[in-house]
A and B are shown apart, each in its own frame.
Chain A
Amino acid sequence: MINQYKFEDGPELRDLFITVDDPESHITAIETFITYRVVTKTTRGEFDSSEYEVRRRYQDFLWLKSKLEEAHPTLIIPPLPEKFIMRGMVERFSDEFIETRRKALHKFLNRIADHPTLTFNEDFKIFLIAQAWELSSHKKQGPGLLSRMGQTVRAVASSVRGAVKNRPEMFTEMNNYMETFSQKINLLDKIAHRIYKEERDYCNEMKEYGPIHTLWSASEEAIGDSLRGLAGCIERCCRATERRMAGLSEHLLPMLHEYVLYSEILMGVLKRRDQIQGELDSRVDALANKKTEKDLFSEEIGKLEDKVERANNALKADWDRWKQNMQWDMRSTFTNVAENNLRYYEECLATWESFLASQTVDLHVDEDSEDRP
């Protein structure tokens, strides 16, 4: 049974703190790659020391993820940032790309640390503390590439067999949910990117719009100040728009992207559970015809049944946990978006109100001077 941990462990309960920072590029004869510094601080007994510092490259993270998937096929392993980003044609080694990746990697490790089961995974520990050469040699020890490939082949084969007939209702519901969720989250991701683009284009046009008023003010006397004031307002609103955009790219866009990845991960997890059940079902079917040797195989069936039960329970618990986290993430991120937009409009409002005040003050001043004899 998996213990039900509080979905968001407070900082007081955490005993493992991880940071990912300091990207550095390495140039060798064959390739160029980036390594990131991973610093771990811990009070756990299993760790010999209380602080570790290692350097890891993207490949190492990929290795860790696959090891975790292997060890816990029906647990929800957090998403890793993708190898390449096609959209926006960000260059592979641009500062923007590296920073986005670094933040995602940081989140990845921390989510594992927060996970009640994964946090105690042995490969995870080694990832955090081993020196480069130690990690390389450890990597070579695991089940070889071929066996991993074999698993994949089996996975594909079993999924071809179609929907599992004895699938518990709960998991069918999960499947249906994930199908819709995946569709919606992908749409939201596209919408959010589109909004970012429109805001950026708007900002660019405003950058041209403002200065025209300043140019105009050069040929005017009486309204020169008003025109310059207007130009100033437009510039301030422009900067407010940039801050609004920054808010999107810092919080909403990465979060939606993670959940796009999560939806793929979850579909995979559900498939693997079906696979495990499929193994049991096919064994049971095969043995149904052989009446005489039932006793011999009861142990085997028993083991498979246990496997299925463990997988189901692990998935159920992790699913609940995931849903709660998802709800929290959505709530906090969209609230943040709303706050961002509020701040934007409040800034712009203040700008225009102060301009208006300055203009109407001038009008009163003019009227006063006319009254004077």
Chain B
Amino acid sequence: MARPEPGSAPARSAAAEPPSPMESTEPEPSGSRPEEEEEEEEEEEEEEEEEDEGALPGPEQPLAAMEDCLAKKMEITVSEAEKRTGRNAMNIQETYTAYLIETRAVESQSEGQCAPVESLWRRYSEFELLRNYLSVTYPHIVVPPLPEKRADFVWHKLSADNMDPDFVERRRIGLENFLLRVASHPVLCQDKIFYAFLMQEGGWKEMVNETGFQLKADSRLKALNATFRVKNPDKRFTELKHYSDELQSVISHLLRVRARVADRLYGVYKVHGNYGRVFSEWSAIEKEMGDGLQSAGHHMDVYAASIDDILEEEEHYADQLKEYLFYAEALRAVCRKHELMQYDLEMAAQDLTSKKQQCEELATGTVRTFSLKGMTSKLFGQETPEQREAKIKVLEEQIQEGEEQLKSKNLEGRDFVKSAWADIERFKEQKNHDLKEALISYAVMQISMCKKGIQVWTNAKECFSKM
């Protein structure tokens, strides 16, 4: 199964690839850093950075090379889940589940001396807060998704209850997977808030809120249905948005039907269990046939029971698909961000053009376009030269400001496109690798199911032939 293990799978997928595209496209060569470097140095470098307003916390700071991703330096597990009761923000009693996050530094040359395990408890809402922070702070990154909030796409035997132990267990695995994904991301793994999430139980929420990330969040991004009339979006992003829509739709459909298939398969196996009971009762009145019936019945029971394990394994496969269903949403978010930036850019350019035009008209006295000012001046007489001069001056100031803003917006936009596209390429390779592995694991499960079936029916056949 392609379930990431601490420090392995996500990093494995990264390590197996050729050097990250980001390293080659970076304006400042990051180079690969020696492995012996301590984590404190990373933090120091981060503290030295001055983050510009609106600049992306990615391209300007050196990216971690694959070997230096947090995932390689630290074992991270979500090892336990516990039911708790407490008071929430509105002082109402509630029951929730808390998850234990355990971390341990990996010694590069360990000789039986293991670093101590550190741990803290977090609840799902804190994970959500972390993810929101990351999405806002790194809008050009395809941020790994969280496991679903509520159980969806369940087939009838599984509970849709959030407190159900199976659901909690699967969520625990999903949360661990999320942390490993973030820890193996070359950009995200260096984030201080993320590190604090893993290491600092108290005061973390305050720390996140102090970053003021909520203010940076563009409310327009939340409006999922809003469309912006963007004239010149980067075609790649338009295509990517279509792709993410298709991916979302096809995976949802797949998961829905898979749940129904699981239901039916369950039915086939379980009804065979009834044979077991009836054969056993029938064997009581038969002399010669009795033994054969009885033992065949036993095998029917085995057959019926075998479906439970089979379907439990299949749930893991469904979870792998679900992760990419949610990833599609993250992908779309990046595309939307680009659209927004492009929209703002186009609006700013439009505004600048119109101001320039106004200025020109005032300066030359020609009215090329209809304007209210033009009309009023015709009706009420021309302005005085002094008035006109004042207006022109104001406009010229505004135009200069506007041109600078446009320049920086342009730069911003280009930077965004470059670094976003780099992460998208990284994501595509990860996705292809993971999904292919998932499909293979599906085949492996089917093979195991068939082999079990062959074993049971071979035994049953022998019993029947002895009746």
Q: Which residues of A contact B (CB under 8 A)?
A: 176-177, 180-181, 184, 187-188, 191, 194-195, 198-199, 201-202, 205-206, 208-209, 212-213, 215-216, 219, 222-223, 226-227, 230, 233, 237, 327, 330-331, 334-335, 337-339, 341-342, 344-346, 348-349, 352-353, 355-356, 359-360, 363, 370
Task: Establish whether residues A205 and B289, one from each chain, have CB atoms under 8 Å apart when the complex forms.
Answer: no
Task: Establish whether residues A339 and B461, one from each chain, have CB atoms under 8 Å apart when the complex forms.
Answer: yes
CB proximity of B30 to chain A, nearest CB, Å: 23
Task: Establish whether residues A352 and B246, one from each chain, have CB atoms under 8 Å apart when the complex forms.
Answer: no
CB proximity of A232 to chain B, nearest CB, Å: 12
> With an 8 A cutoff between CB atoms, is B40 at the interface?
no
> With an 8 A cutoff between CB atoms, is B223 at the interface?
no
29 A-B residue pairings within 8 Å (CB atoms): A180-B285, A181-B285, A184-B278, A187-B274, A187-B278, A198-B271, A202-B264, A202-B267, A202-B268, A205-B264, A206-B261, A209-B254, A212-B257, A216-B254, A222-B432, A223-B436, A223-B439, A327-B289, A331-B467, A334-B467, A337-B464, A342-B457, A345-B450, A348-B446, A352-B446, A352-B450, A353-B447, A360-B440, A370-B18
CB proximity of A262 to chain B, nearest CB, Å: 15
Partner of B272, one of A195, A206, A219: A195
CB contacts (< 8 Å) of B282 on chain A: these are 180-181, 184, 188
CB contacts (< 8 Å) of B288 on chain A: these are 327
CB contacts (< 8 Å) of A205 on chain B: these are 257, 260-261, 263-264
A180 to B281, CA, bound (A): 9
Q: Knowing A331-B467, A345-B453, A349-B454 touch, does A195 contact B250 (C-beta < 8 A)?
A: no
Task: Establish whether residues A202 and B436, one from each chain, have CB atoms under 8 Å apart when the complex forms.
Answer: no
A223 to B292, CA, bound (A): 49
CB contacts (< 8 Å) of A341 on chain B: these are 453, 457, 460
A353 to B450, CA, bound (A): 10
Which partner residue on chain B sits nearest A208 by CB separation? B257
Task: Establish whether residues B289 and A356, one from each chain, have CB atoms under 8 Å apart when the complex forms.
Answer: no
CB contacts (< 8 Å) of A202 on chain B: these are 261, 264-265, 267-268
Task: Establish whether residues B461 and A233, one from each chain, have CB atoms under 8 Å apart when the complex forms.
Answer: no
Q: Knowing A223-B436, A338-B461, A356-B443 touch, does A209 contact B18 (C-beta < 8 A)?
A: no
Which partner residue on chain B sits nearest A340 by CB separation? B457
- Of all A-B residue pairs in the complex, the 6 with the closest CB atoms, nearest first, are A338-B461, A202-B264, A349-B450, A345-B453, A198-B267, A222-B432
Residues 280-304 of B at the A interface (beta carbon under 8 Å)? 281-282, 284-285, 288-289, 292, 296
A331 to B247, CA, bound (A): 51
CB contacts (< 8 Å) of A355 on chain B: these are 443
In the complex, which range does the number of interface residues on chain B fall in?
A: 35 or more
CB contacts (< 8 Å) of A215 on chain B: these are 250
> With an 8 A cutoff between CB atoms, is B377 at the interface?
no
A202 to B155, CA, bound (A): 14
> With an 8 A cutoff between CB atoms, is B411 at the interface?
no
Given contact pairs A212-B250, A223-B435, A335-B461, enumerate 10 new A-B contacts (beta carbons under 8 Å).
A180-B282, A194-B271, A198-B271, A201-B267, A212-B257, A226-B439, A345-B454, A346-B450, A352-B446, A363-B436
Q: Knowing A353-B447, A356-B444 touch, does A346 contact B275 (C-beta < 8 A)?
A: no
Which partner residue on chain A sits nearest B455 by CB separation? A345
- Tell me the number of A-to-B contacts counted with CB atoms below 8 Å: 140
Q: Which residues of B contact A (CB under 8 A)?
A: 18, 243, 246-247, 250-251, 253-254, 257-258, 260-261, 263-265, 267-268, 271-272, 274-275, 278, 281-282, 284-285, 288-289, 292, 296, 432, 435-436, 439-440, 442-444, 446-447, 450-451, 453-454, 457-458, 460-461, 464-465, 467
CB contacts (< 8 Å) of B254 on chain A: these are 209, 212-213, 216
Task: Establish whether residues A219 and B18, one from each chain, have CB atoms under 8 Å apart when the complex forms.
Answer: no
A181 to B444, CA, bound (A): 43
Partner of A338, one of B278, B289, B460: B460
Task: Establish whether residues A201 and B264, one from each chain, have CB atoms under 8 Å apart when the complex forms.
Answer: yes
CB contacts (< 8 Å) of B263 on chain A: these are 205
CB contacts (< 8 Å) of B443 on chain A: these are 230, 233, 352, 355-356, 359
A206 to B465, CA, bound (A): 32
CB proximity of A356 to chain B, nearest CB, Å: 5
Q: Say what secondary structure dominates the interface of chain A.
A: helix
CB contacts (< 8 Å) of B243 on chain A: these are 219
A227 to B321, CA, bound (A): 13
Which partner residue on chain B sits nearest A330 by CB separation? B467
CB proximity of A51 to chain B, nearest CB, Å: 38
CB contacts (< 8 Å) of A345 on chain B: these are 450-451, 453-454, 457
Which partner residue on chain B sits nearest A202 by CB separation? B264
CB proximity of B101 to chain A, nearest CB, Å: 32
A202 to B260, CA, bound (A): 8
Task: Establish whether residues B268 and A199, one from each chain, have CB atoms under 8 Å apart when the complex forms.
Answer: yes
CB proximity of A244 to chain B, nearest CB, Å: 10
Partner of B257, one of A209, A359, A370: A209
CB contacts (< 8 Å) of B247 on chain A: these are 216, 219
CB proximity of B435 to chain A, nearest CB, Å: 5
CB contacts (< 8 Å) of A199 on chain B: these are 268
Task: Establish whether residues A335 and B465, one from each chain, have CB atoms under 8 Å apart when the complex forms.
Answer: yes
A191 to B257, CA, bound (A): 26
A223 to B443, CA, bound (A): 15
**Residue in B258, B282, B458 whose Cβ sees the most chain A Cβ within 10 Å:** B282
CB contacts (< 8 Å) of B464 on chain A: these are 331, 334-335, 337-338
Task: Establish whether residues B250 and A219, one from each chain, have CB atoms under 8 Å apart when the complex forms.
Answer: yes
**Residue in A222, A233, A334 whose Cβ sees the most chain B Cβ within 10 Å:** A334
A188 to B272, CA, bound (A): 10
Which partner residue on chain A sits nearest B452 by CB separation? A345
**Residue in B436, B442, B443, B461 whose Cβ sees the most chain A Cβ within 10 Å:** B443
A125 to B440, CA, bound (A): 65
A219 to B432, CA, bound (A): 12
Which partner residue on chain B sits nearest A237 by CB separation? B446
CB contacts (< 8 Å) of A360 on chain B: these are 440
Which partner residue on chain A sits nearest B274 by CB separation? A191
A180 to B280, CA, bound (A): 12
CB contacts (< 8 Å) of A206 on chain B: these are 261
A81 to B281, CA, bound (A): 27
Task: Establish whether residues B285 and A209, one from each chain, have CB atoms under 8 Å apart when the complex forms.
Answer: no
CB contacts (< 8 Å) of B289 on chain A: these are 327, 330-331
A327 to B243, CA, bound (A): 62
CB contacts (< 8 Å) of A348 on chain B: these are 446, 450
Partner of B461, one of A176, A219, A342, A352: A342
CB proximity of A204 to chain B, nearest CB, Å: 8
Partner of A356, one of B267, B284, B447: B447
A89 to B113, CA, bound (A): 74
CB contacts (< 8 Å) of B265 on chain A: these are 202
Which partner residue on chain B sits nearest A347 by CB separation? B450
Which partner residue on chain B sits nearest A339 by CB separation? B461
CB contacts (< 8 Å) of B454 on chain A: these are 342, 345-346, 349
Task: Establish whether residues A212 and B253, one from each chain, have CB atoms under 8 Å apart when the complex forms.
Answer: yes
Task: Establish whether residues B271 and A227, one from each chain, have CB atoms under 8 Å apart when the complex forms.
Answer: no
Which partner residue on chain B sits nearest A204 by CB separation? B264
CB proximity of B449 to chain A, nearest CB, Å: 8
A327 to B446, CA, bound (A): 36
CB proximity of A44 to chain B, nearest CB, Å: 34
A348 to B457, CA, bound (A): 14
CB proximity of B272 to chain A, nearest CB, Å: 7
